Chains A and B, each alone.
Chain A
Amino acid sequence: MKLLIKKGHIVDAKTGIEGIYDLLVENGRIAGISENICEEGCEIIDASGKYVLPGLVDAHCHLRDPGYEFKEDIESGTRSAAKGGFTSVACMPNTNPVADNESVIRYIINKAKQEGCVNVYPVGAITKGQKGEELAEIGELKFAGAVAVSDDGKPVKSSSLMKKAMQYASMFGIAVISHCEDTDLAEEGVMNEGYLSTVMGLKGIPSAAETTMVARELILSEYLDIPIHIAHISTALSVELIRNAKKRGVKVTCETCPHYFSLTDEACSGYNTNAKVNPPLGTDKDVQAIIAGIADDTIDIIATDHAPHHADEKNVEFSLAASGIVGFETAFPLAFTNLVRPGTIPMMKLVEKMCLNPSRLLGINKGTLEPGSSADITIIDTERLFTVDPSKFASKSKNSPFGGFRLYGSVWGTIVNGKPVVSEGVLL
């Protein structure tokens, strides 16, 4: 089967191609990009006036399968991803049972093959049961198909264990993703510590809870000369420490999420549990620093941290509510509206951070439109203004603080391995 995407504005970070071109897909692969492709017997997609990008790659999401299928499962999660323009997603191991062994990794991969509509790459745990006590079987995880290891949702508290995890994982060439949170400092905090936590009477999480552990990871990485990837950074000082470390040549990469450059802790006002997330939303200063970090490449990746939770887990007292935001279906529009549209970064850089860099981190051959690569493509309508309506999300969960937001950059089409999955914004 052949597919011809006509006259789209193509942007590809790996090849550096940018401009109005036709793109031909053949047998699930990119067959060619050039000015005027005439092919017989093609299905044709008219992409004029739209951006044609490599399929988005999410380095950080939660599909909740196995164990928490009432929040999300592989079928609903990948449908939500596709609707958000993601063609490949890396799902975190805090499932039940935890993805700390071969069989859970194989379960996820097999289920994704049967029920998933995008490529699913499981992330294994760093420690058994994510308990932070003993190393998980990282070699076996890798050979079962895990693309990285992380205890995401929980930090690895022991510095000694983290050091050994980095050494051990580097032997297999698998990325270590660190969820940075000093849980002693965070105590029972539920939102950013500051004026707002004070006037709402909520226990605050000091921004230092994230940053102290970022500092630890940077020191371990520099000491060992082994790469580390820092998940979902949210504070100004984390950005500054990583920027400084990169200048010294530390092999650190990091990601942030759209909510950290789109919202401040004000979003929690009125005890809005949909804005409860870990790490917590910061101040305006943090938001500005995250944006600056994206612009100067201190921050390599924009990930969703798609974290679905059932309405019953959110419709409770703020302190008791689950932490997390569903992110697939708002990530690209938020990034486009808040970063590209105001001119802070060019589209090319966004493609780098949402396609190419996450693929490199995970060691997967994705995130590019280079001829010969698999035909994962996202088509974006940047002109149409739309209103976010969480009730229409394909995700099982609707826990988004972005309901009612007016955004640009809606996903018009998603093609996975040459097969259209979303067309005209609708799941096929």
Chain B
Amino acid sequence: MNLKSKDLLGLKDLSGQEIEYILDTAKTMKYVINSNSKKTPHLQGKSIVTLFYENSTRTRLSFELASKYMSSSSANISASVSSVAKGESLIDTGRTIDMMGTDVIIIRHPQSGAPHLLAKHVKASVINAGDGMNEHPTQALLDMFTIREKKGTLKGLKVAILGDIYHSRVARSNIWGLTKMGAEVSLAGPATLLPPGIEKTGARVYSTIHEALIDADVVMSLRLQLERQKKALFPSIREYSRFFGLDDNRLKLAKKDALIMHPGPINRGVELTSQVADHDNSVINEQVTNGVAVRMALLYLLTRRGANEAAD
């Protein structure tokens, strides 16, 4: 099986079958990460470039290690120290990278749709590492991988996603991915942080965190950008955590063995308490490991796709 598109721009455009295939491949990759010698030849002779217009620690490092574990030549560009700072357009930057023989460009960008624009103008595969408020597909894939690993399946699970849904590309990608895989997604957050029409995606929207949590198999807490307070989206951190923060008491509404997840970085005491973050059921640290596995799988599948095409 091959992925249909040369790019991974979002889970909105992937089929359930493709998602399943990526997750299966990631399972193999996880053995590599856990092995004594983290080196495979999958990306030998391939060149991978990360092009980040926003700050990132874990996503960028995760992609870099994923490509290095598979023996690629890789390079990094940060917008702040490149020609972008001199006013170069995204398309021109992309073409420059493309013309150096790059196989995969991994882009993070503050504007939604930037990876889509780039993908139209380069031969290289483009992976979206987060675009504006649109999607963060590799994060959702690693979330689904983690859930599937723990629960055996995604089908029929009840996943509660809590917090700032409006600005969250992680939430959007998870909604697309999880609903395609047969999970039931429930959302809760302040009314000012729920995007209009989100219920049309198939997710259920609740006005209190309690309703969303009842019998949940998975509880996913989202990072609250503290500067949103200045835009009058919520009154104070105190009030936010009182009504929407995840604590031990609220967690009891979910199933006993409910997984606790967070895309990181965490604001301890804001969207969730330290007790919840460090709870036995918390898989927040494992999510990080699985991120590398999922990204290895994607890099492998997208670059292999090119090779097969050439052979045809």
- Prevailing SS type, chain B contact patch: mixed
Asked whether A1 is an interface residue with its Cβ less than 8 Å from the other chain, the reply is no
Asked whether A77 is an interface residue with its Cβ less than 8 Å from the other chain, the reply is no
Asked whether B200 is an interface residue with its Cβ less than 8 Å from the other chain, the reply is yes
Nearest CB of B to A137, in Å: 37
- Whether A194 and B196, one on each chain, are in contact in the complex, defined by CB atoms closer than 8 angstroms, is yes
| CB proximity to B under 8 Å, residues A268-321 | 270-271, 312, 315-320
Q: Which residues of A contact B90 (CB under 8 A)?
A: 316-317
Q: Which residues of A contact B114 (CB under 8 A)?
A: 317
- Whether A319 and B197, one on each chain, are in contact in the complex, defined by CB atoms closer than 8 angstroms, is no
User: Complex formed: what's the CA distance from A194 to B200 in Å?
Assistant: 10
- Quick one: closest A residue to B116, CB to CB? A271
Q: Which residues of A contact B111 (CB under 8 A)?
A: 317-320
Number of interface residues of A (CB under 8 A): 21
- Quick one: closest B residue to A317, CB to CB? B111
- Whether B113 and A200, one on each chain, are in contact in the complex, defined by CB atoms closer than 8 angstroms, is yes
Looking at the complex, which one of B89, B109, B116, B195 makes contact with A198 (CB distance below 8 Å)? B195
Q: Please choose the segment from B127-135, B152-160, B234-242, B272-280 that sits at the chain A interface, where 4 or more of its residues have CB less than 8 A away.
A: B127-135
- Quick one: closest A residue to B168, CB to CB? A201
Asked whether B80 is an interface residue with its Cβ less than 8 Å from the other chain, the reply is no
Asked whether A168 is an interface residue with its Cβ less than 8 Å from the other chain, the reply is no
Most chain B beta-carbon neighbours within 10 Å: one of A194, A201, A315: A201
- Whether B113 and A318, one on each chain, are in contact in the complex, defined by CB atoms closer than 8 angstroms, is yes
Q: Which residues of A contact B132 (CB under 8 A)?
A: 201-202, 319
| CB proximity to A under 8 Å, residues B58-101 | 89-91
Looking at the complex, which one of A199, A200, A270, A317 makes contact with B201 (CB distance below 8 Å)? A199
Asked whether B117 is an interface residue with its Cβ less than 8 Å from the other chain, the reply is yes
| CB proximity to A under 8 Å, residues B123-156 | 131-135
Looking at the complex, which one of A193, A202, A315 makes contact with B112 (CB distance below 8 Å)? A202
Given A200-B112, A317-B114, A318-B112, the answer on whether A195 and B134 have CB atoms closer than 8 Å is no
Asked whether B180 is an interface residue with its Cβ less than 8 Å from the other chain, the reply is no
- Quick one: closest A residue to B176, CB to CB? A199
Q: Which residues of B contact A122 (CB under 8 A)?
A: none
User: Complex formed: what's the CA distance from A199 to B113 in Å?
Assistant: 11
Nearest CB of B to A199, in Å: 7
Q: Which residues of A contact B295 (CB under 8 A)?
A: none
- Quick one: closest A residue to B175, CB to CB? A199
Q: Which residues of A contact B14 (CB under 8 A)?
A: none
User: Complex formed: what's the CA distance from A271 to B91 in Å?
Assistant: 15
- Whether A201 and B117, one on each chain, are in contact in the complex, defined by CB atoms closer than 8 angstroms, is no
Asked whether A204 is an interface residue with its Cβ less than 8 Å from the other chain, the reply is yes
Looking at the complex, which one of B113, B169, B198 makes contact with A317 (CB distance below 8 Å)? B113
User: Complex formed: what's the CA distance from A320 to B112 in Å?
Assistant: 10
- Whether A201 and B197, one on each chain, are in contact in the complex, defined by CB atoms closer than 8 angstroms, is no
Nearest CB of A to B231, in Å: 8
Footprint of B on A, CB under 8 Å? 193-204, 270-271, 312, 315-320
Footprint of A on B, CB under 8 Å? 12, 89-91, 109, 111-114, 116-117, 131-135, 169, 172, 195-198, 200-201
User: Could you show 11 A-B contacts with beta carbons less than 8 Å apart?
Assistant: A194-B197, A195-B196, A198-B196, A201-B113, A201-B172, A202-B113, A315-B117, A316-B91, A317-B109, A317-B111, A318-B113
